[in-house]
């Protein structure tokens, strides 16, 4: 409605404006992208555990997030938010999943971690957030490396991509010949850049649905700026 009347309406509208401003001012992160390459040198800038050998509090931790991704065509892959079943005691996306197990609303676990990467030994390393299905072979390899070596920070890996589409696999191997210089590259604060928790009553609109969740209706115009999209590398679900 173009006219807001009454204090409740004005306060609600005010909150919408504040939320929108907070969203715009949210720090942004760059993503790790393959750029059509299939081999990359990579250093993790974050450990997975504070007890790991090279944990640095200032760099924080890589995390696994339990999330839902919108199944609305315009929002697919762009809109993803943390499952709130535990934190808020309710989760709209989980409800959708219970109503229709085949609709694609099931929770997904994704590894998020800041990496430095370069496609050749001469290239200046770039910083980006890597995201990958935690249940993928790559997710499991990173976990195994962190457990076996008690660190994943401070060594350079060679990561190779093979296959295509949903059968894409990434392999992880320590490089025997190359050590990347990552000095000065700071990890992202993942929880305040790429992850977000949405209040349960805001979730239908966030995921691109009408408030009642029944009839599908786009209630928010899809914009790239509303949320950065994880790169297309987010396959192998
Ligand atoms: Zn959920």
pLDDT digits (tens, 9 = 90+) for 189-231: 999 999 999 999 999 989 988 766 554 544 444 444 445 556 5
**pTM, full prediction:** 0.83
* Domains, the chain, ordered by start: 28-207 (3.90.198)
pLDDT at 74 over 90: no
- Rounded to the nearest angstrom, the distance between the alpha carbon of 23 and the centre of ligand 1 is 22
Percent of the chain surpassing pLDDT 90: 68
Q: What is the pLDDT of residues 5-47, one digit of tens each?
A: 889 889 888 888 887 787 788 888 999 999 999 999 999 999 9
Per-residue pLDDT band for 141 (boundaries 50, 70, 90) equals very high
Rg for the chain, CA atoms, rounded: 20
Q: Which residues surround ligand 1, an ion (CB under 5 A)?
A: 83, 85, 91, 93-94
Tokens 């800041």 belong to residue: 114
- Rounded to the nearest angstrom, the distance between the alpha carbon of 25 and the centre of ligand 1 is 26
- Rounded to the nearest angstrom, the distance between the alpha carbon of 65 and the centre of ligand 1 is 11
| 95: its two tokens | 């409800």
Q: For 176-200, give one letter per residue: b (16+ CB within 10 A) or e.
A: eeeebebeebebbebeebbbbebeb
- Rounded to the nearest angstrom, the distance between the alpha carbon of 147 and the centre of ligand 1 is 28
d(C-alpha 29, C-alpha 237), whole Å: 23
């Amino acid at each position: 409605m173009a006219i807001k009347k009454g204090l409740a309406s004005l306060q609600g509208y005010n909150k919408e404006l504040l939320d929108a401003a907070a969203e715009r001012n949210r720090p942004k992160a760059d993503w790790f992208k393959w750029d059509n390459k299939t081999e990359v040198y990579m250093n993790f800038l974050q450990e997975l555990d504070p007890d790991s050998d090279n944990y640095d509090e200032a760099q924080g931790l890589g995390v696994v997030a339990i999330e839902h991704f919108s199944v609305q065509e315009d929002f697919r892959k762009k809109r993803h938010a943390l499952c709130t079943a535990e934190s808020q005691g309710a989760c709209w996306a989980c409800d959708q999943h219970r109503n229709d197990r085949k609709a694609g609303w099931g929770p997904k676990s994704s590894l998020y971690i800041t990496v430095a990467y370069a496609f050749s030994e001469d290239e200046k390393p770039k910083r980006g957030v890597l995201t990958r299905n935690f249940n993928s072979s790559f997710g499991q390899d990173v976990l195994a490396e962190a457990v076996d070596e008690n660190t994943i920070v401070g060594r350079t890996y060679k990561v190779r991509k093979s296959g295509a589409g949903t059968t894409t696999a990434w392999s992880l191997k320590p490089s025997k010949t190359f050590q990347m210089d990552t000095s000065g590259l700071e990890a992202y604060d993942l929880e305040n850049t790429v992850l977000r928790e949405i209040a349960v009553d805001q979730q239908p609109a966030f995921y691109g649905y009408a408030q009642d969740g029944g009839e599908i209706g786009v209630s928010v115009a899809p914009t790239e700026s509303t949320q950065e999209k994880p790169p297309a590398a987010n396959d192998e679900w």
